């Protein structure tokens, strides 16, 4: 990922490393195989004796209470303060870091001890984008998206190592620069959180209070809803449903044309993402659908935060579709329910409370809602024309907020890319730090 950092100096002279991922390195840097500067630590210990640690993309952290645990706590690897730990599996790409305390990690991780290398410099080097890509490229496996890298493979990766004082200078430089970038990212994250909160307040007020502040009110009779316009109806979703279809349980493949499975990721925050349709061999499945423009979709199962997410399909889909069994298609009384209004209702705070309280599952990472749950949820329903006005109002106001959020997310992505590029450039000698 070596993008040009033109604002920084270059070294006086370079040499070819002979390694594609590394490219040219400063002439005075040492070109070595990783195994000559690191030794593997393979001591097996118990988490009763050594504090369990988690290997995450944020580094090596005390194990979270909700982290996935094995029953094999006596069969772990020892980690000493200053060791570098990296998860060997490609589905955990980027999960690595220097340990700041003694502890233990699961056996899937590689633990290595740096020899005469500045720990902070080591952290930047081995967590850098280019090294991480090279590390997993050296691995092996039987499927395209999941493989493992062993230490025997890792130790042969070539790296360029500067003299120790230069390592310290690079580490200090990156600490200062990345701290500024991280502060800018955090500022944007706070702004996005405020914008999302503002959007939620707009939706909640509109679908529970309406647009006329002078309208007569009544007690809804529901504690977590409060007062509502007097002329609005309070009824269960089951009263306005005309149909509720559940998908199948397909296994995705690449063996068929114009046949696709609709994945959960296609339904997110009120929007439909057509690119999340996956090819499938449709001959194996009897239950097929033709998605229509205007179809209302709801996720039956997902994480607790995402279950019950909804969207309306905005375009015609010509291909045949197989739904995941974790997706419902809902049909409402057309003359009574405005689809865009009910979409906002499903995203409102009062409605999300109902979804959360009814969602159940055997694990903390997957919960589901049933047909009966959906039909029992309470909804507020103004007259149709008022629903249409509220939907138009929310579309206009939330579109503006979504636009700002998208801009901020784009800027954050660029900052993260710049940070990764800066780290890569510094630890491979593409730029010279003062």
Q: Using CA atoms, how far apart are residues 378 and 354, in angstroms rounded to an integer?
A: 8
Contact call for residues 161 and 32 (beta carbons, < 8 A): yes
Residues 150 and 248 in one domain: no
Domain boundary among 107, 130, 161: 161
Domain boundary among 353, 381, 409: 381
Contact call for residues 125 and 427 (beta carbons, < 8 A): yes
Could you tell me the residue range of the domain that residue 243 belongs to? 233-381
Tens digits of residue pLDDT in 390-417? 999 999 999 999 999 999 999 999 999 9
Does a structural domain hold residue 8?
no
Residues 376 and 238 in one domain: yes
Q: Using CA atoms, how far apart are residues 241 and 173, in angstroms rounded to an integer?
A: 61
Give the pair of three-digit tokens for residue 172: 């200090």
Does a structural domain hold residue 285?
yes
Provide the domain count of the chain: 2
Residues 115, 174, 89, CA angle at the centre, nearest 5°? Answer: 60
What are φ and ψ of residue 256, in 5° steps?
-135, 150
Q: Using CA atoms, how far apart are residues 432 and 434, in angstroms rounded to an integer?
A: 7
Residues 139 and 248 in one domain: no
Residues 282 and 157 in one domain: no
Residues 244 and 375 in one domain: yes
Q: Strand 320-323 to strand 259-262: parallel, antiparallel, or no bridges (unpaired)?
A: parallel
Give the pair of three-digit tokens for residue 323: 């739904």
431 vs 268, which has greater pLDDT? 431
Does a structural domain hold residue 153?
yes
Contact call for residues 260 and 322 (beta carbons, < 8 A): yes
> What SS3 class is residue 145?
coil
Which one-letter DSSP state was computed for residue 397? H
Which residues are within 8 A (CB) of 365 and not within 5 positions of it... i.e. 6 or more apart?
A: 303
Residues 259 and 141 in one domain: no
Domain boundary among 381, 402, 419: 381
Burial class (CB in 10 A: 0-12, 13-18, 19+), 24: middle
Decide if pLDDT at 254 tops 50.
no
Which of 433, 432, 420 shows the shortest CA–CA distance to 24? 432
pLDDT for position 252: 45
Instruction: Please give the model's pTM, rounded to 2 decimal places.
Output: 0.80
What is the average pLDDT across 182-201? Answer: 97
Decide if pLDDT at 310 tops 70.
yes
Which of 103, 345, 397, 94 shows the shortest CA–CA distance to 235? 345
Residues 251 and 340 in one domain: yes
Q: Please report which confidence band the pLDDT of residue 255 belongs to, taking 50, 70 and 90 as the band edges.
A: very low
Does a structural domain hold residue 223?
no
Decide if pLDDT at 251 tops 60.
no
Decide if pLDDT at 253 tops 50.
no
Q: Using CA atoms, how far apart are residues 187 and 271, in angstroms rounded to an integer?
A: 26
Which of 55, 45, 46 shows the shortest CA–CA distance to 108? 55
Does a structural domain hold residue 423?
no
Contact call for residues 408 and 191 (beta carbons, < 8 A): yes
Residues 130 and 36 in one domain: yes
Percent of the chain at pLDDT > 90 equals 66
Residues 61 and 155 in one domain: yes
- For residue 270, the domain's CATH number is 3.90.220.20
Tens digits of residue pLDDT in 315-342? 877 776 777 778 889 999 989 999 999 9
Q: Using CA atoms, how far apart are residues 365 and 304, in angstroms rounded to an integer?
A: 7
Does a structural domain hold residue 395?
no
Mean pLDDT of the chain: 88
Which of 163, 196, 405 shows the shortest CA–CA distance to 305? 196
What is the average pLDDT across 74-100? Answer: 91
Does a structural domain hold residue 104?
yes
Residues 256 and 141 in one domain: no
What is the average pLDDT across 64-78? Answer: 68
Residues 306, 345, 392, CA angle at the centre, nearest 5°? Answer: 120
Residues 373 and 273 in one domain: yes
CA 86 to chain centre: 20
Q: Using CA atoms, how far apart are residues 357 and 341, in angstroms rounded to an integer?
A: 22
Give the pair of three-digit tokens for residue 95: 């999960």
Q: Using CA atoms, how far apart are residues 332 and 240, in angstroms rounded to an integer?
A: 6
Which of 289, 286, 299, 359 shows the shortest CA–CA distance to 325? 299
Does a structural domain hold residue 118?
yes
């Amino acid at each position: 990922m070596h993008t040009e950092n033109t604002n920084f100096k270059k070294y006086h002279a370079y040499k070819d490393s002979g390694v594609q991922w590394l490219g040219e390195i400063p002439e005075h840097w040492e070109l070595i195989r990783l195994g000559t500067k690191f030794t593997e630590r393979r001591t097996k210990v118990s988490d009763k004796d050594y504090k369990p640690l988690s290997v995450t993309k944020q580094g090596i952290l005390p194990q979270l209470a909700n982290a996935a645990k094995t029953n094999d706590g006596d069969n772990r690897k020892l980690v000493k303060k200053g060791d570098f730990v990296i998860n060997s599996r490609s589905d955990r790409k980027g999960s690595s870091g220097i340990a700041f305390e003694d502890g233990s990690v699961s056996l899937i991780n590689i633990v290595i001890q740096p020899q005469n290398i500045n720990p902070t410099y080591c952290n930047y080097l081995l967590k850098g984008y280019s090294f991480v890509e090279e590390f997993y490229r050296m691995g092996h496996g039987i499927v395209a998206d999941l493989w493992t890298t062993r230490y025997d493979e890792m130790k042969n990766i070539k790296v360029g190592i500067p003299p120790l004082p230069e390592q310290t200078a690079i580490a200090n430089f990156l600490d200062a620069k990345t701290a500024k970038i991280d502060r800018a990212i955090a500022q944007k994250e706070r702004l996005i959180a405020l914008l999302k909160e503002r959007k939620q307040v707009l939706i909640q007020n509109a679908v529970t209070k309406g647009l006329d502040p002078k309208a007569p009110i009544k007690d809804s009779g529901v504690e977590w809803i409060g007062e509502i316009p007097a002329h609005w109806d309070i009824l269960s979703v089951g009263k306005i449903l005309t149909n509720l279809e559940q998908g199948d349980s397909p296994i995705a493949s690449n063996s068929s044309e114009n046949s696709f499975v609709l994945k959960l990721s296609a339904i997110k925050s009120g929007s439909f993402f057509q690119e999340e349709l996956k090819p499938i061999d449709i001959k194996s499945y009897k239950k097929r659908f033709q998605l229509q423009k205007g179809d209302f979709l709801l996720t039956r199962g997902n994480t607790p935060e995402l279950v019950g997410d909804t969207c309306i399909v905005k375009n015609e889909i010509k291909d045949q579709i197989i739904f995941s069994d974790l997706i419902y298609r809902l049909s409402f009384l057309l003359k009574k329910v405005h689809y865009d209004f009910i979409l906002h209702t499903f995203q409102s705070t009062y409605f999300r409370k109902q979804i959360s309280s009814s969602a159940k599952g055997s694990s903390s990472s997957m919960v589901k809602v049933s047909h009966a749950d959906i039909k029992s949820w309470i909804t507020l329903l103004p007259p149709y024309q008022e629903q249409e006005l509220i939907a138009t109002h929310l579309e206009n106001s939330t579109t503006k907020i979504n636009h700002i959020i998208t801009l901020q997310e784009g800027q954050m992505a660029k900052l993260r890319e710049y940070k990764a590029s800066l780290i890569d450039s510094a630890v491979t000698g593409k730029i010279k730090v003062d």
